[in-house]
Copies of this chain bind each other. A is one copy, B any other.
Amino acid sequence: MRISRSGSISGRGSAVGDVADDLAHEILTALTPGASLPSEAELASRYAVSRLTIREAVKLLAGRGLLDIARGRKAVVRVPDGTAFSDFLTSLLHNDSKSLFDLIEVRLSLEVQSATLAAKRANRAGIAAIESALRGMQDNADAAIKGDPAADRRFHDFDVGFHEAIALASGNRILGYLFEAMSTQLRHGIQISRRGHANRGHTLYDTIAWHERILEAIRAGNARAAGEAMRQHLKDTENDIRNALSNVADQAT
């Protein structure tokens, strides 16, 4: 079986491919996320193929991220998210550290654009979401610095949430999905970066200060300033990650 350029599963003479194509089309056009597919038995009789063929087609679509499968339950149409892209990245990155920095480069570009667009387009709700994430960081900073691991994790989650809120406020759905996928992949890198923070004497308050600056620019509708602040913030983060990685390398030798 071949996956064709159009994204369809070439099913010339392949029952599984035909069924998968048809199901994919139906999922994308007629079904809403959260809806259930008919049972395997019903699909089998509808397409006049065996249950096995249906199962393989459904597996194929699950692999593409269109369906969630669980034992005892019908297959459920998946809410679109960045997972498929994240899987794609996983297939490319493996353990390559160059790929990590490639990814950071791409993220920088996309987040700068997110901030720029957010400054132009964010509505009240979008700005409120960004503010709320920032407040979460502020509320947990003290405890995190004192060594409370739960607060530390909350701080980190709000940090990611801040960036995600900006991606969403950009009004560009694709940016949102890409952010989600990349942030999954970067989670490891970010943890390294926070160790880097400690090494460089950064404090969580520095991070907060950067975020405040970004938020302020977005609130003021200053697209250029928002993008530039984001760029500098991420450049900082990138440097931290580089330092942390070289420290790890040093300790290894």
Contacts and interface: CB of A to CB of B under 8 A. Distances in A.
Interface of A: 1-3, 5-7, 9, 13-14, 16, 24, 28-29, 52, 55-56, 59-66, 68-71, 80, 83-92, 94, 99, 102-103, 105-106, 109-110, 112-113, 117, 172-175, 177-178, 184
B113 A109 contact: yes
Q: Chain A binding site: helix, strand, loop or mixed by DSSP?
A: helix
Contact of A52 (B52, B80, B88): B52
6 contacts: A2-B70, A24-B91, A56-B59, A60-B63, A106-B110, A110-B110
A184 B66 CA distance: 20
A92 B13 CA distance: 27
Contact of A80 (B80, B91, B177): B91
A112 B70 CA distance: 43
A28 B94 contact: yes
A83 B3 contact: yes
Contacts of A24: 91
Contact of A106 (B28, B91, B105, B113): B113
A14 B115 CA distance: 42
A106 B3 contact: no
Contacts of A29: 94
A172 B106 contact: yes
